[in-house]
Copies of this chain bind each other. A is one copy, B any other.
Amino acid sequence: MNKKPLAVVLVSGGLDSCVTAAIAGQTYSLAFLHLNYGQLTEKREHQAFLDLADAFNVEHRLDVDVTYLAKIGGSSLTDATMRVPDADLNSTEIPSSYVPFRNANILAIAVSWAEVIGASKLFIGAVSEDSSGYPDCRPEFFKAFNQVIATGTKPDTNIEIETPIIHLKKEEIIQQGMALNAPLALSWSCYQSEEKACGVCDSCALRLRGFKRAGLEDPIPYQTRPDYT
């Protein structure tokens, strides 16, 4: 008999969602939600989602097709005619991989599902530091969204967004994942490639730098492992 309350976890299949799931699993029974928003590496991310769901023994799983984001366009992640940029970790500009208002779309879906299945929390592995250019990754965005949930759901519904790693640096996320025995080797972060991670996109660069700073070796395969410091 599992008497833990239920929480929805947004699981892209990446490192951050893997560690977020491990944190959520300490207190909650988990339901995993994966979004296919038409990203170039969706097939590989979906495999990571399934591998993680198996590793966490998750029964409640939902895949949602949000490829309308590709139709709306405006991002190199979903528009095959735009090139995914190589990493520039020192840039303060909003990267072209930004899908406008993507997290609001994702959260809205997650809340709808959470209300139907009776979950009381919604975990998302957003990180403020390494995505300072994405407006919908900031704490004030999630705070505002919690207010939308409070006003836009049934009176007896009580769902709150939790962002347990939002203030952590990548190396701290990796260390916390290790401490919780999170299956980091099953996660996938690369925006560009599906067999071996490219090593040069923003997401690979942040991940590799995080492992280096944590003094650990990333267990997934790379085409190239530049020395990000």
Question: Which residues in A have some Cβ–Cβ distance to B below 8 Å?
Answer: 62, 64-66, 68-69, 71-74, 94, 99-105, 107-109, 111-113, 115-116, 135-136, 138, 140-141, 143-145, 147-155
Contact = CB atoms under 8 A, between A and B. Distances in A.
A101 B115 contact: yes
Contacts of A154: 94, 100, 135
A144 to B, nearest CB: 4
B115 A100 contact: yes
**Copy number of this protein in the oligomer?**
2
Closest 6 CB pairs of A and B: A136-B152, A74-B116, A100-B115, A104-B108, A105-B108, A64-B68
Contact of A141 (B94, B105, B113, B151): B151
Given A104-B148, A104-B152, A152-B144, A68 B109 contact: yes
A166 to B, nearest CB: 14
A105 B99 CA distance: 16
Nearest to A116: B74
A124 to B, nearest CB: 13
30 contacts: A64-B71, A65-B65, A69-B112, A72-B112, A74-B112, A74-B115, A74-B116, A100-B111, A100-B116, A100-B153, A101-B108, A101-B112, A101-B149, A101-B152, A104-B111, A105-B108, A105-B109, A105-B112, A107-B108, A135-B152, A135-B154, A138-B151, A141-B148, A141-B151, A141-B152, A144-B150, A144-B151, A145-B152, A147-B148, A148-B148
